[in-house]
Amino acid sequence: MGKILEINGPLVKLELPETVLGEQVRVGRLGLVGEVIGRDGDTALAQLYEDTAGLRPGEVADGLGWPLSVELGPGLLGAIFDGVQRPLQAVWEQSGDRMARGVAVPSLPRDKRWHFVPDPHRRAGTPLAGGDVLGTVQETESILHRILTPPLIHGELMELAPEGDYTIEEILGRVRMSDGRIEKLHLFHRWPVRTPRPFKRRDHAVAPLITGQRILDTFYPLLKGGKAAIPGPFGAGKTMLQQQIARWCNAEIVIYVGCGERGNELTDVLEFMPELKDPHTGRPLMERTLLVANTSNMPVVAREASVYVGITLAEYFRDQGLDVVMVADSTSRWAEALREVAGRLGQMPVEEGYPAYLGSRLAAFYERAGRVETMAGHHGSVTLIGAVSPPGGDFSEPVTSHTKEIIQTFWALSKELADARHYPSVDWLESFSGYIGSAAKWWAENVDPNWESERAQALDLLAASEELQRIVNLVGVEALSSEQRWTLEAAGLIKEGLLQQSAIDEIDSFASPEKQFALLAAMLEIFRQGMKLVKLGAPARRLIQMPLLAQARRWKSQHTSEDIAALKAKIAAIPGEFDKMMLEYEQTA
Amino acid sequence: MKNIEFRTATSAQGGLLVMGGVPGVAAGSRVQLRDHAGRLRSGLVIRAADDAVLVEVFEGTDDLDLERTWVRFLDEPFKLPVSRDILGRIFNGAGLPRDGRPPIISADRRDVNGEPLNPAARAYPREFIQTGISAIDGMNSLTRGQKLPIFSGGGLPHNRVAAQIVRQAKLLGESASEFVVVFAAFGASHADARFFEESFEESGVLNKVVMFLNLADEPVIERLLTPRAALTAAEYLAFDLDYHVLVVMTDMTAYAEALREVAVLRGDVPARKGYPGYLYSDLAEIYERAGRIKNRRGSITMIPVLSMPSDDITHPIPDLTGYITEGQIVLGRELSNQGVYPPVTVLPSLSRLMKDGVGKNFTREDHPHVASQLFASYAKALEVRGLAAIIGAEELSDADRRYLEFANAFERKFIGQGEDEDRSVYETLNLAWDLLSMLPADALIRVSEEELAKYHKGGAA
């Protein structure tokens, strides 16, 4: 037992000898929880996850003997946790609308019974190692939860419970460890959040993550197991884009970490997710979703912990051989939490008040993404998408610039596009993807061999139009040649008919890879047919008046992803639209 | 401990007082000081240790005589007494009456810091509030439970716009008097405060308003308490008494500057422009108190007003605010100089909750598409206007000239309206179609073909 010496914001100095750095402490009469971040002789410095108002010097403090850990087992999916994995729904039922301090509610429900089916390979007397699957629990209709052996177990299985209903605390089995100790097995285990979970080896990421968003999938793809960042000033549609990804992406598990963001946004997710169907399984989306919420008005130290809680949960599902997407909104708030604590510790600030270790912390965090071969030999992945909120929309600020060096896919959001209500406001010139090669292979095998060249042509067109627009802004559109005007028009067609995608339009909200490619090919076909005519001497002015151009802009919201045939028929009819004019100009030529 | 006066002050500087040898003082506890002249001051414990307690003094530490300063630790946080009687009253930033009437006596005293709302307890805001202002209702609509700030600049009519919203705000099908208003002014001038007071009086809502005033010449540190006291009152009215509360706060920039002033004194590490790294969290503690709660009838809708230093929207205060609030209404100098009232610059304005509060079942089925089309067409029209400034309007094509006319009409007729003009959302939408009909139907791809057929004056594409 120790005692409080000093309280300074979320930092508390304790007289508490023999604590370990990172150890959890329980402090004061309210029993507030925190972790040790410094030791000096008999004193320990702890940061608390809750508001410290009302604590007094002299009150008791005690070390708990373990670092910040999460509970991993059935009952995670569909839940909403706070930054230190307290179940917010249960906390609400127990302590009311406001977050009372010192509430202790277990992360996973203790009274719920789960139907456990043991793995037939697990027999008494056989060897058992960390990561081995003990059996399964059908947690939701779409997700089969594999019960994993805790990573540090290594020995011989002594006994395992037969098929039946168990709570997570009932003993499921026993293992004799190699050193002779006997360990009990349960449906769940704990894992410290700041330690990456072990795996056998890293794998190459091969398949793209399909988000159904054309600007992402077609132009700047991300792979399953990859790392991406979405930087954007406020009002650029960052949240909307992330919610679209969480809704539509073809991962098996989606973990959404609201780190220092708006309370109403999480409510939005909580309310709309159960109503929506997973486009890939037809089941309610909430069944594959898990939320970690530390809203901007919740204590700042728990905000720093929340991203680690999220990524550890992600790794746990990865170890079951699943593809997991984790969206962290926003990593800037996490970095700011880091800065706030560093400031109180009196650490030397480097850039904009951030501590010198900002870059290495960010890098170590993003490194926890990846596609791996699990300890049990399955393949699983964690795809990490971090939102960045650069102050003033300035991408050269420390968090954005450090993140840019770490990630492979960069979806830069633009305020100008958002102001003109061009959504998603992903800037096609500033964004990049380091995964084009792998993605091209997948698109060629699964959708169309011409994906790479068509994509490149569309991007060329967009880049060219940017140049032309500059000329127009100086001297007016009349100064352009017909060829240039048609290029400009075609780029407009690509922007409005392909890149712009409405999240609130039922049909347009999600586009399958087939639909994405069909639309891309369609817009380029119109461009090429028109260009042929222009080269024959047709004035662009005439082409621009073709009703086809207005029609093609509506195709995206007229054809569902299942209705590709009708869309393809329209594309096949494109040359016909140009026939009459073609004949006219071929004769004069 | 509450009744013991300590005379152990060891140092004082710029609003901070260090007390030696007071054991067991609670962090965040309220403090009462009596100086040599017998005047009372109040403060807050910001760092507590047995050998030294750091106290922030709201009225400042000017002319404190350390040997003749007596300090009592009240052993509780700052609390605001609440009861139904607060309606119609005027308080100072710390919640004491400034209208000459007796203080509120109530056993129900609330910690002004509040407690964060459990995200699982929130209900998502969906009810459209009609403000009667087309630029807001038509394109950046306000929803019950939303926090929608007005970003403004010195000399712009943000106070008039805020007052107009307070006068006209109502749910569709209800009378304007549904709301009670909590008004907080910090760092505001006496003239501003009087403007609001008169405006409330004229519209006869004064008995439904609670005011918290900390004016420009009053203690700076008290400014940190003012919005918290106001929101404590708002929470009580909304979630205990079931009122729909409209909170108007002005000016958040003065609040943030007060926070910076105190942070510098405390020696906190500065982040951007000298503001402390926790400015974001601190602002969030205020803004996030807006909202709705499941199974409760009342709501808090918040309209903070902030002036952007040098009209710079990337300045830390509007920037961080924009990351927390659900959109922003931006007022522009250019429109204002042209005599457009309210000078709402629509393109950088945004309402994040609009998507869920308008359209079929809420306002009218074409509303989301019309709003999107107005944004797109006006953005395009501004491009054309930029071009016309270079090559001259005569050189524009016919199509472009129509956009130019559209832009002018849009600014005069749609954005511009009278200060007492209360337009219904249907009038706003019909007006929008009148303007969109100036453009050819096939240029309007954000609205559906059915909507074009129904509303466009020139028929379908």
Query: What separation in angstroms does the CA of B238 have from each of B107, B144, B297, B461?
Result: 19, 12, 8, 49
Is position B460 within any domain?
no
Cβ atoms of B439 and B404 within 8 Å: the answer is no
Cα A361-A414-A233 angle, rounded to 5 deg: 50
Query: Among residues B222, B221, B150, B212, which one has the least CA distance to residue B181?
Result: B212
Is position B134 within any domain?
yes
Mean pLDDT along residues B161-186: 85
Q: What is Dmax (Cα atoms) for chain B?
A: 85
CB contact under 8 A, B278 and A55: no
- Label residue B176 by pLDDT band (50, 70, 90): low
The answer to whether residue B50 neighbours chain A at the CB level (below 8 Å) is yes
The answer to whether residue A13 neighbours chain B at the CB level (below 8 Å) is yes
CATH number reported for the structural domain that contains residue B28 in this entry: 2.40.10.170
Tokens 């209208």 correspond to what residue?
A: B99
CB contact under 8 A, B445 and A99: no
Is position B149 within any domain?
yes
pLDDT at B177: 58
Is position B383 within any domain?
yes
Same domain membership, residue B339 and residue B224: yes
| Number of domains making up chain B | 3
- Label residue B460 by pLDDT band (50, 70, 90): very low
Give pLDDT tens digits for B51-94.
Answer: 899 998 888 888 899 999 999 999 899 999 999 999 999 999 88
Q: Which residue, among B22, B122, B353, would best test binding to A if mutated, counting the most A CBs under 10 Å from its CB?
A: B122
CB contact under 8 A, A297 and B353: no
8-state DSSP, B399: H
- Contact residues, B window 156-215, toward A, CB-based 8 Å cutoff: none
Query: What separation in angstroms does the CA of A75 have from each of A81, A142, A170, A180?
Result: 12, 14, 15, 32
pLDDT higher than 70, residue A5: yes
- Contact residues, A window 210-229, toward B, CB-based 8 Å cutoff: none
CB contact under 8 A, A56 and B387: no
The region of weakest confidence among A31-45, A264-278, A289-303, A530-544 is: A264-278
The answer to whether residue B119 neighbours chain A at the CB level (below 8 Å) is yes
Same domain membership, residue B372 and residue B343: no
Task: Read off the tokens for A97.
Answer: 């609308």
Give pLDDT tens digits for B100-158.
Answer: 999 999 999 999 999 899 999 999 998 999 999 999 999 999 999 999 999 999 899 99
Give pLDDT tens digits for A222-277.
Answer: 999 999 999 999 888 888 899 899 989 999 999 999 998 888 888 888 887 778 88
Same domain membership, residue B372 and residue B344: no
Q: How far apart are CA B224 and CA B202, in angstroms?
A: 30
Cβ atoms of A149 and A172 within 8 Å: the answer is no
- Label residue A588 by pLDDT band (50, 70, 90): confident
Out of A52, A89, A342, closest to residue B120 by CB? A89
Same domain membership, residue B60 and residue B84: no
| Cβ contacts of B147 within 8 Å, gap of 6 or more | B287, B288, B290, B291, B301, B302, B303, B304, B324, B325, B326
The answer to whether residue B376 neighbours chain A at the CB level (below 8 Å) is yes
**Distance (Å) from the alpha carbon of A327 to chain B's nearest alpha carbon:** 17
Is position B226 within any domain?
yes
| Mean pLDDT computed over every residue of chain A | 92
pLDDT higher than 70, residue A589: no
Mean pLDDT along residues A19-48: 92
Cβ atoms of B222 and B92 within 8 Å: the answer is yes
| Among candidate residues B42, B77, B112, the one where a domain is terminated | B77
The residue type of A50 is E
Same domain membership, residue B238 and residue B225: yes
The region of weakest confidence among A131-135, A414-418, B180-184, B392-396 is: B392-396
- Structural domain A201-436, CATH architecture: 3-Layer(aba) Sandwich (3.40)
| Among candidate residues B60, B77, B94, the one where a domain is terminated | B77
Q: Quick check: do A111-187 and A201-436 share a fold?
A: no
Is position B37 within any domain?
yes
Chain B residue numbers with beta carbons less than 8 Å from the beta carbon of A53 are: 26-28, 77, 113
| Among candidate residues B324, B357, B390, the one where a domain is terminated | B357
Give pLDDT tens digits for A413-433.
Answer: 999 899 888 999 999 999 999
The domain made up of A111-187 is a member of CATH 2.40.50.100: yes
Q: How far apart are CA A266 and CA A251, in angstroms?
A: 20
- Label residue B357 by pLDDT band (50, 70, 90): confident
CB contact under 8 A, A333 and B114: no
Same domain membership, residue B163 and residue B85: yes
**Distance (Å) from the alpha carbon of A389 to chain B's nearest alpha carbon:** 8
Same domain membership, residue B273 and residue B161: yes
- Label residue B270 by pLDDT band (50, 70, 90): confident
- What is this model's ipTM? 0.88
Chain A residue numbers with beta carbons less than 8 Å from the beta carbon of B372 are: 421
Same domain membership, residue B430 and residue B291: no
Give pLDDT tens digits for B404-459.
Answer: 999 999 999 999 999 999 999 999 999 999 999 999 998 898 898 899 999 998 75
Same domain membership, residue B147 and residue B16: no
Inter-chain Cβ pairs, chain A and chain B, closer than 8 A: 218
Cβ atoms of A49 and A302 within 8 Å: the answer is yes
Domain limits, chain A: 2-67, 111-187, 201-436, 451-588
CB contact under 8 A, B284 and A56: no
CATH number reported for the structural domain that contains residue B179 in this entry: 3.40.50.12240
Give pLDDT tens digits for A309-318.
Answer: 999 999 999 9
CA dihedral B426, B428, B433, B435 (to 10 degrees): 160
Same domain membership, residue B84 and residue B72: no
CATH topology for the A451-588 domain: 1.10.1140
Chain A residue numbers with beta carbons less than 8 Å from the beta carbon of B281 are: 260, 296-297, 300, 336, 340
- Structural domain A2-67, CATH architecture: Beta Barrel (2.40)
A196: helix, coil or strand?
coil
**Distance (Å) from the alpha carbon of A371 to chain B's nearest alpha carbon:** 32
Instruction: Encode A143-162: b = buried (16+ Cβ within 10 Å), e = exposed.
Output: bebbbbbbbebbbebeebbe
Same domain membership, residue B207 and residue B135: yes
For B431, the domain range is: 367-455
Query: What separation in angstroms does the CA of A270 have from each of A25, A59, A89?
Result: 32, 39, 11
pLDDT at A344: 79
Q: How far apart are CA A57 and CA A43, in angstroms?
A: 13
Give pLDDT tens digits for B372-408.
Answer: 999 999 999 998 998 888 888 888 888 889 999 999 9
Q: CB neighbours (10 Å) of residue A201?
A: 7
A150: helix, coil or strand?
coil
- Contact residues, A window 47-76, toward B, CB-based 8 Å cutoff: 51-58
* Percent of chain A at pLDDT exceeding 90: 75
pLDDT at B459: 53
- Contact residues, A window 381-410, toward B, CB-based 8 Å cutoff: 389, 391-394
Mean pLDDT along residues A525-541: 94
Is position B410 within any domain?
yes
Is position B286 within any domain?
yes
Out of B118, B278, B396, closest to residue A91 by CB? B118
CB contact under 8 A, B48 and A56: yes
Nearest chain B residue (CA) to A95: B118
Chain A residue numbers with beta carbons less than 8 Å from the beta carbon of B29 are: 54
Out of A234, A267, A420, closest to residue B319 by CB? A234
Nearest chain B residue (CA) to A497: B445
The residue count for chain A:
589
pLDDT higher than 50, residue B323: yes
**Beta-bridge partners for B41:** B33
- Contact residues, A window 409-428, toward B, CB-based 8 Å cutoff: 415, 418-421
The answer to whether residue B353 neighbours chain A at the CB level (below 8 Å) is yes
Same domain membership, residue B137 and residue B90: yes
Asked if omega into A330 is within 30° of 0 (cis), the reply is yes
CB contact under 8 A, B27 and A474: no
- Contact residues, A window 279-338, toward B, CB-based 8 Å cutoff: 293, 295-300, 333, 336
